[in-house]
Chains A and B, each alone.
Chain A
Amino acid sequence: MQNATAAEAPVTLTYRDAVREALHAALRDDPRVFLMGEDVGRYGGSYAVSKGLLETFGAERIRDTPLCESTFVGAGIGAALGGMRPIVEVMTVNFSLLALDQIVNNAATLSHMSGGQLNVPLVIRLATGAGRQLGAQHSHSLEGWYAHIPGLRIAVPATIDDARFMLAAALRLPDPVLLFEHLYLYNMQGTLTEGLEQVDLERAAIRRTGRDVTLISYGWSLHKCLAAAATLAAEGIEAEVLDLRSLRPLDEATIMASVRHTHHALIVDEGWRSGSLAAEIVTRIVEQAFYELDAPVARLCTAEVPIPYAQHLEEAALPSPARIAAAARELLTSARGP
């Protein structure tokens, strides 16, 4: 897979390839690791992430399952307790709701309830998000919900580097980790940072520096923020773009440092506004950096409707670079006062 010599230009790969390489490396390096989920074997996964892995690792380690989320996640917990390092793929976050009892009432609680006698080193990979015209039952962004649950770690790879290395970081942890892969990103192309061999699962990352306003987001929204920042730059507004990376725990230090630097914060979250992750971040900024702010914290979220199917309706429901730029301008204007 990585056969480029050091002298050659970095290989262009997709986000999907990067996740596949991560899986390949994990399976190669640790015999306890296996992948389990619907259509992950011969079919190569619903989003073609595991394509080719069956041929290399065999049907026991690239394991197709019956269509039953509650049980293949439950079985993953059992296997993790039994000393394995299972990676469970759930086709979309919407389908993970069928496994909520296993995830929320079991994986998240077992270590605590057992007085620390048990650990559940389980990794669950879920496709999340909208933008592919898959309607309300396959397009929601529920990672903010999961980030509410103590005992779970929630991470969101938004870049090629994170897609390649977050899985290994998750597998190193003794806790259950949910990795949310935005389905719009699978075809995104890029290159790996040369020499990078691992990433952490704790720190947020500044993906673009700027002095005027901090755009805080994750997943697909990160790329919309970067696009908006480019537009704003042409107008003389320098936006700093922060990639949360981990939704639980939240890297407050990086968020507050950026806000103290720009004095303006706009949170872009593909989840719904009411009771959202964005709401949590606003609260923390208000709690910890209120006197640093030159304007009220703003947020841009998805319209509070089930994600519609029709393309123009779906687009109208989601944050877009144009809306992010508009919201940033408004934030800076309101700061200057009437």
Chain B
Amino acid sequence: MTQSRLHVPHPPARPGEKPDFSYLEIPPAGREPRPDTLAPALEIERLGTGMVRVLDEQGHAVGAWNPHLEPEDLQVALRHMLLTRHFDERMQRMQRQGRISFYMKSTGEEAVAVAQAMALEPGDMLFPSYRTQGLFIVRGKSLVDLMCQCLSNTRDMCRGRQMPIMYHWAEGNIFSISGNLATQFPQAVGWAMAAAIKGEDRIAATWIGEGSSAEADFHHAMTFAAVYQAPVILNVVNNQWAISSFQGFAGGERRTFAQRGPGYGIPGVRVDGNDFLAVYAVTRWAAERARASGGPTLIEHVTYRAAAHSTSDDPSRYRPKEEWQAWPLGDPITRLKNHLIALGEWSEERHAALEKELEAHVTACWKEAVTYGTLTEGPTLDPVSMFEDVFHDMPPHLKRQREELRRLLAAQHAAAAAQVPDGEG
């Protein structure tokens, strides 16, 4: 008699065990062919099983996917990635010191957001996930503004209403970040459908973690994108971990995430997410395809979440501490740096100088940001402002509640003032 058994995925290594990435097959750089941008989805299924890689072990750019960027562009890219990392480090430190309540770093994944933002046009609409802060940095949002959002202060773009890092920047064509995962996927597809209806040359791009690709929204968005051939780039950032759930829990044990694309009739491309040039080249390919009415592309970025999920998480409880060091695709910043050095366009000295410069810049930005208020020191947002923006025009019941709060705060203020002993305050 046969008996079925429940399979519960188990990650290859737990704390105290040797990191094991043998489940990842990593082809040599330059191996994957670069098909025509309008090749039919079913003819290029191979792109979903292999891995597009441009930078080889010696730091040379090789193969058909080499985007042949100018050294100046590569230096800008390096700068953006380094700035993202320094920004993250600083904000994490500020959280540890109690200056902000929460933070999420993108350490180890900087190439994804930076390369993609650089590969897209400024008018393209971005629907980010919460680990793509590089998008804001490439598009020129000032660190002061990002910090003010994390501080929830008087210059906070979200007016104290959103958790730290849930930025929103309409002018920069970057949509609001959602803490409820995957909702951005159908929204990006809808935006792209609208762009196509209007006959624009703008496209949409959106990001999701491999973990949240298990949400229904991912699958519904794939169906709609395929049905309407929406001009959208659908990115799955496979950083191996969704809080404590390894990628096997999202269905990565038997198929790559890119391979889901052909199931919906969408090309799926798997890319070395820590290879700036490869991410850039694949994004350009998908963008050209979308603009030429070739429809959507699913891109899986194979990368590693080097930091904790958030400042509320302690990954030493569920994965080996040494995993990041053992990660076979390395550090995206080191790899781009080595490439520039191999080109003769960079040096350790220049790199050290740039790091110093960026650190000073981050420090200066923080100093400015806190002048607009911190969690503990003024100036602070007026609490009655929370009744604004619930509706465009404030309805009577909210006006009433605002008045009630205003009266209550005034009474509390008066009571507090009356309690101040002589010689103080």
Chain A residues with a Cβ under 8 A of chain B: 38-39, 41-44, 46, 59-60, 63-71, 94-95, 97-98, 133-138, 273-274, 303-306, 308-313, 316-317, 322-323, 326
Contacts and interface: CB of A to CB of B under 8 A. Distances in A.
Contact of B250 (A66, A274, A317): A66
B386 A313 contact: yes
Given A133-B101, A305-B387, 9 more contacts: A38-B245, A64-B8, A67-B214, A67-B215, A309-B152, A309-B163, A311-B152, A312-B381, A313-B381
Given A304-B398, A308-B161, A137 B250 contact: no
B133 to A, nearest CB: 17
Nearest to B166: A135
Interface of B: 6, 8, 10, 14, 101-102, 152, 156, 158, 160-164, 166, 178-182, 211-212, 214-216, 242-245, 249-251, 317-318, 375, 380-381, 383-387, 390, 397-398, 401, 405, 408-409, 412
A63 B8 contact: yes
B238 to A, nearest CB: 13
Nearest to B376: A311
5 contacts: A67-B182, A135-B161, A305-B387, A310-B380, A323-B408
Contacts of B214: 66-68, 71
A303 B163 contact: no
B317 A95 contact: no
Contacts of B249: 64-66
A34 B302 CA distance: 34
B161 A313 contact: yes
A313 B383 contact: yes
Given A133-B163, A137-B178, A311-B375, A70 B405 contact: no
Contacts of A323: 408
A67 B212 CA distance: 6
Contact of B161 (A97, A309, A311): A309
A316 B166 contact: no
A58 B182 CA distance: 30
Contact of B160 (A44, A273, A308): A308
B386 A316 contact: yes
A305 B404 CA distance: 14
B161 A64 contact: no
Which 6 pairs show the lowest CB-CB distances between chains A and B?
Answer: A310-B160, A43-B244, A66-B214, A316-B383, A135-B163, A310-B152
Nearest to A69: B215
Contacts of A63: 8
Contact of A68 (B152, B216, B398): B216
A43 B317 contact: yes
B386 A308 contact: yes
A67 B381 contact: no
Contacts of A310: 152, 156, 160-161, 375, 380-381
B381 to A, nearest CB: 6
Given A39-B244, A134-B163, A70 B383 contact: no
Contact of B397 (A66, A68, A274, A309): A274
A309 to B, nearest CB: 5
Nearest to A135: B163
B242 A305 contact: no
Given A39-B245, A59-B8, A135-B162, A306 B390 contact: yes
B245 A64 contact: yes
A133 B245 contact: no
Contact of B6 (A43, A60, A70, A133): A60
Contacts of B215: 67-69, 98
Contacts of A44: 317
Contacts of B245: 38-39, 64, 66-67
A141 B160 CA distance: 20
Nearest to A307: B161
A276 B383 CA distance: 23
B161 A306 contact: yes
A114 B99 CA distance: 56
A97 B179 CA distance: 13
B317 A42 contact: yes
Contacts of B211: 66-67
Nearest to A40: B244
A68 B211 CA distance: 9
B113 to A, nearest CB: 21
B166 A67 contact: no
A116 to B, nearest CB: 30
A312 B380 contact: yes
A136 B161 contact: yes
- Which residue, of B161, B166, B318, has the highest number of chain A Cβ atoms within 10 A? B161
B251 A66 contact: yes
Given A64-B249, A135-B166, A70 B216 contact: yes
Given A38-B245, A133-B102, A305 B318 contact: no
B10 A59 contact: yes
A67 B242 contact: yes
Contacts of A69: 215
Nearest to B415: A322
A83 to B, nearest CB: 15
Given A137-B180, A303-B405, A309-B161, A42 B8 contact: no
A64 B384 CA distance: 42
B10 A309 contact: no
A137 B163 CA distance: 9
Contact of B179 (A65, A135, A312, A313): A135
A303 B383 CA distance: 11
A63 B383 CA distance: 42
B390 A94 contact: no
A19 to B, nearest CB: 19
Contacts of B163: 133-135, 137-138, 309
Contacts of B401: 303-304
B178 A39 contact: no
Nearest to B412: A322
Nearest to A132: B101
A6 to B, nearest CB: 36
Contacts of B317: 42-44
B162 A309 contact: yes
A165 B161 CA distance: 36
A43 B243 contact: yes
B181 A67 contact: yes
B422 to A, nearest CB: 25
A43 B102 contact: no
A137 to B, nearest CB: 4
B323 to A, nearest CB: 15
B251 A316 contact: no
Contacts of A309: 152, 158, 160-164
A164 B412 CA distance: 38
Nearest to B318: A42
A40 to B, nearest CB: 9
A87 to B, nearest CB: 17
